[in-house]
Structures are given as structure tokens and as C-alpha cells.
Amino acid sequence: MDYTEAPLDLDFSRGGLSLEEEGKLLRRSVLPGGVRVLSERIPHSHSTSIGLWIGAGSRDEGDEARGSTHFLEHLLFKGTRNRGAKEIAERIDYLGGDFNAATAKQYTCYYGHCFEQDVAPSLNLLSDMVTGARLDAGDMEMERGVILEELSMYNDDAAEVAHEAITSMVFGDHPLGRPVGGTRESVSALANESLHNHYSAMYGPSELVVTAAGAVDHEQLCERVHAELEAGGWDMSGPGVPEPRRTASLIAPVEPATRYIERPVEQAAVILAAPSFDLFDERRRALFAMNAILGGGTSSRLFQKIREERGLAYSTYSFPSLFPEGGMYGMYAGCAVANASEVATLLAACLEEIAADGVSDAEVESAYRRIRAEIIFSNEHLSSHMNRLGNAELIRGSLTSQSELLRKARAVTAADVQEVAQFIASQPRSLVTVGPAVG
């Protein structure tokens, strides 16, 4: 049975769900307290990818708590009511060592990959971290230094600095324009009380989504999740209603800007970007095809024009960044600072060339084949299945089958690609260059 976007969203609102595709069984349940559990049983798997998702990211922080979501991610590994930091680390290594966490603009996820016989102890560990975080003031001070070092590491990477800068330039003061990890100033000023308040507000049954893919029994998973969360002190007795998916206000247009950011690096990072449409716009299928043609591979326009024909850069690519509230489309190149202006001109020229002259059917076919490979190859990894369940529940509100994704990618035409290029090319562009001091 194929499953597509609209019916799946409707089923989400009703609570339970059970669908099968190509031998894989997808199930969704809402537990007492409002916890959502989604699983995908994949035949012949002997391991399981598990994620515990909190539907809040850096976008959802108050002004006094900038960087708190990422800070919490660190502190949940520093100790719980039942385990110290070393015990958590030892348990991770005992279970195979493939446990970690990720903070994004829209969510936080604590995840692990384990053998099928270790699903129960893996859930015990992850649930203990989520429900029983100690958030000790001393641990916080110790970890503050670690996080500041992490921010310094990114601050030494010209490409990272450029990506953070262009996001804030295109999105302006919108919460999605903030750095996920906060700034040195916000992290240095963050109080332990603010962390506790953020944890209390965001970490609870109605905010939690549990996803698992691979060798998983849905009924056993639900029973284990309920038991672990209840043992962790969460109230799992009431009917509970899941929190609705969060969104912020729509991203408002901002004036385009040009910035040069000095860093003691040998190679400049150049990004040219413009506003795009949101995550749910059907034109995104054509945008993904345009992205493959413009900057998605070694035959792409950017790679051929900037690297192969002129030797101006080693790395160059394009990228869409789409959210429910709006989006951005950017083009990147790393080059000598003396060539930054010429490279920026070429980035714009490659986009404008597609907008003016379109693309060939051969390019569209090649783009489809690359997109097809991304879809199918990613589905060979259990973590991809686990992640798509979390994203479907927390961000999209729907889940699209592999066959439907391929059908929509196949339907994109050269005219669709040119139309999207014309739209992007018509938007105001911002330019950031990160490089060494110039005389």
C-alpha cells in the first residue's frame, strides 16, 4: 500500500497509523501523555536506528536563552539522576559507540544505532538522558568552555562563517537566521536558571517523538518507551495531546547586503544567495533539479565554469535551504581573495544563464538520475529511515513514499527548471566574502 502526503497528514491527526510499502511496515501511535512513537520495520535488518526527538530548536529560543537548545544537548551527556558522565560514556561504548545528538533550527534529536537485541538498553540510556538530566551548575560551567571552543573551531572555518553570515543576511532578524549554537556572547551569558526553564518547558511527553527503523517490533517499542519515560518521572497517566508542530512567522523580505568578514585564512569563502520559497511549495521539485544542474556535481555549471574552465576554485556548489516559514538559495565557492570578485560574478552569471536560456533535456535527465540515486541510496541506511520519520512528524506533517518521490522528480521538465531559475534570479541577492585582511 503506497502512502502519500495528504492522507498521511490526516491520519497523523487521528492518532494511529499502520501502512505497508515494499515489505516495510510503518506504524504510528500516540501514547498516554502525548508521546508519539513511529516505527518502520525493515525486513532482513538485524539492527535498529532509534531517535528521541524534541520539537524545539534554536528557532524556538527566547532572547534570554539564545544557545540553550545546543547547550542542553551537551549537558544531557554530562549526567542524570542515575548515571554520571563517565557511566553514560561507558554505556555508549558498550552498546557499540554509535550514539550522539544533533541540534537544529527546528528540533533536537538524541539517537543511537544498536543491535536488535540491544533496543531495550539503548532506549533505557536515551530515555534516562532525556527525562533525568541533572543540569548541574558545575557541569554547565565546565561544558561552557567546551562549547566556546566548539564555536571557536567553527569561527576558524571560513566556509562555516560564510554560511552563518549569509543565513542571517537573507533571513534578517527572523529566528531562523540565528546561529544554532548561539554566539560567544550569548553562551557566555547563559544562566543555569535559563537552561532549567528551557528544559522544563520543552522536555515533556507532549513534545517527545520517538522513531525507530530496522529490526523493530512496534508494540514492544511502545511498551518500552512508556515504561522508560514513566520510570524517568514523566506523567504518562493522562490521555495527553501532542504539541502542534511549531512554526514561526513567515520570513519577511530584507534589503540585500554585501559583507566582507576578515579572518586569518589563506582562501576566501564566497557565497551569493537570494530568498527562495518555502518547504511546502511544489516548485521545490524543480528547484532540486536546478540545484543538481547548477551546482550539484562535477558536470554542473558552477563546477565547469569556475573550476574546470578557469581554475579559480577547488570547491564550488549550490544549495537550497528551505523551511516552513520561507527559504534561501545560495551558491558557494572557495577561492583566492584576489579572485573573489570574479568568482562572485561567475556565480551570478551561471544562475542567470539558466534563467535566460534554460537547460537541455539531457541536463534534466542527468539531474533526475542524481536525485534518484540520492533517494534510493539514502534509503539503504537505517538512520535515513529513522530521520525521515522524525522530520515527517515534527516538520512536514506528512510522509511521501519512495515511489512517489521518484515520480515527482521524474515529472520535472526543462521548462520547470527555467521557471524556477527565473524566480530565484529575480530575487534580491546578498553576497558575503570571508577572507584575510586586504590592504
- Residues identified as active-site: 73
CB 195 within 8 A of CB 71: yes
Please give the Cα distance from 229 to 232 (Å, whole number): 5
Q: Which three cell numbers, joined as nine digits, stand for 140? A: 554547565
| Sequence-ordered list of residues with C-beta below 8 angstroms from that of 339, at least 6 positions apart, any chain | 268, 312, 313
Please give the Cα distance from 153 to 155 (Å, whole number): 5
Length of the chain: 439
Q: What are phi and psi of 431, to 5 degrees?
A: -130, 130
Query: In the 8-state DSSP scheme, what is residue 232?
Result: T
Angstrom CA distances, 107 to 74, 102, 188, 247, 395, stand at 15, 8, 23, 11, 9
Where do we find the cell 539522576? 81
- Ramachandran region, residue 178 (left: φ > 0; alpha: ψ -120 to 50; beta: rest): beta
164: helix, strand or coil: helix
- Taking the CA atoms of residue 203, residue 209, residue 210 and residue 214 in that order, the dihedral angle to the nearest 10 degrees is -150
Q: What are phi and psi of 96, to 5 degrees?
A: 125, -10
Q: What is the largest CA-CA distance in the chain?
A: 67
Where helices occur in 22-118 by DSSP H, the ranges are: 68-75, 85-94
Please give the Cα distance from 12 to 33 (Å, whole number): 16
Q: Which three cell numbers, joined as nine digits, stand for 238? A: 493522562
Query: In the 8-state DSSP scheme, what is residue 80?
Result: B
Q: What is the DSSP string of 246-310?
A: P--PPPPP----EEEEE-S-SSEEEEEEEEE--TT-TTHHHHHHHHHHHHSSTTSHHIIIIIITT
Where helices occur in 39-136 by DSSP H, the ranges are: 68-75, 85-94, 119-131
What is the separation, in whole angstroms, between the first and last Cα of the chain? 65
